[in-house]
Copies of this chain bind each other. A is one copy, B any other.
């Protein structure tokens, strides 16, 4: 029988779209940030079981829970106006730990210029679903669906740090070299709110997405939504802290750590090459890492060989 597990999260949202009533435009039924009567809104869940690596504190878990949703607003270019949290927590959980989760969400909200407004707490297995609300402030929202053949593809910062950090924790490595920073990037991801606002304000961006599911998954999502392909050049990918060390120890190409893992919070965006100056003058740091073409989904050129970028491991 077809189950949620076999269909997967992306497959499920397609099915839901096919059966539920479509909301009035410009709203659309999606697992991304959506426009609800002029309010940009999105929700994302994290669970103790799947999203709490060894050694992560409850405060860091709370921060990450808020960051996951706020990052979806960033990808659209919205300015956050507030967050709400639905917590399902084991009844035996010490109150101090619960307050640490809330404190982490609050600090992340503060770092994004906004506040925790409320929520709901019920007994459960250990999860936090954060709803983030935002405002486009009269800018045009950036979608996943606007990438066009010939566009350049860029990312706002180095990749692979969270993957290297995760491998460091999982394998019990000493956090030497860049691995300490790698673990920090896994624990305290920073939603790129200001950069999203600047990119949407530039008027030059044709599509944008955050990398919380990893570059491969994100790139394929944009390819699907835009009906295009994308070719990345491995040597152009900016390498995050600890990637070289982790790559060597694991015996896997650095490019795999940079493309196949989640937990990244940089933005990936596309723009017509002739608009490069607009992107430069926006003040957002970026690295061009590939271009949009008519090929089949997202591919990586590595040592002169082209291979499909498959959906990530996480």
Contacts and interface: CB of A to CB of B under 8 A. Distances in A.
Interface of A: 1-5, 7, 9, 12-13, 15-16, 19-24, 27-34, 36-37, 39, 41-47, 49-50, 81-82, 84-86, 88-96, 98-99, 102-103, 106, 110, 115-125, 127, 129, 131, 133, 135
B41 A3 contact: no
A29 B82 CA distance: 11
Contact of A81 (B39, B45, B93): B39
A31 B7 CA distance: 34
A274 B7 CA distance: 60
A5 B91 contact: yes
A310 to B, nearest CB: 20
Given A1-B94, A39-B39, A43-B131, A118 B32 contact: yes
Nearest to A68: B120
Given A5-B123, A124-B127, A115 B82 contact: no
A108 to B, nearest CB: 12
Most buried by B among A7, A94, A106, A131: A131
B124 A41 contact: no
A15 B99 contact: yes
A109 B30 CA distance: 16
Nearest to A92: B3
B118 A42 contact: yes
6 contacts: A2-B95, A37-B81, A42-B120, A47-B88, A84-B131, A86-B131
A67 to B, nearest CB: 14
A115 B120 CA distance: 22
B4 A89 contact: yes
A82 B27 contact: yes
Contacts of A95: 2-4, 7, 12, 15
Nearest to A2: B95
A20 B106 contact: yes
A103 to B, nearest CB: 7
Contact of A91 (B4, B103, B119, B123): B4
B42 A84 contact: yes
Nearest to A106: B20
A29 B102 CA distance: 12
Given A34-B118, A42-B118, A129-B129, 19 more contacts: A9-B120, A12-B95, A15-B95, A16-B102, A23-B82, A28-B118, A29-B117, A31-B121, A36-B81, A36-B133, A37-B82, A42-B84, A43-B85, A43-B86, A43-B119, A43-B120, A45-B86, A45-B122, A88-B88
Please provide the 10 A-B residue pairs with the shortest distance between their CB atoms, ordered closest to farther: A5-B91, A86-B129, A36-B82, A23-B115, A125-B125, A37-B81, A131-B131, A34-B118, A20-B106, A34-B117
A45 B86 CA distance: 7
A118 B32 CA distance: 7
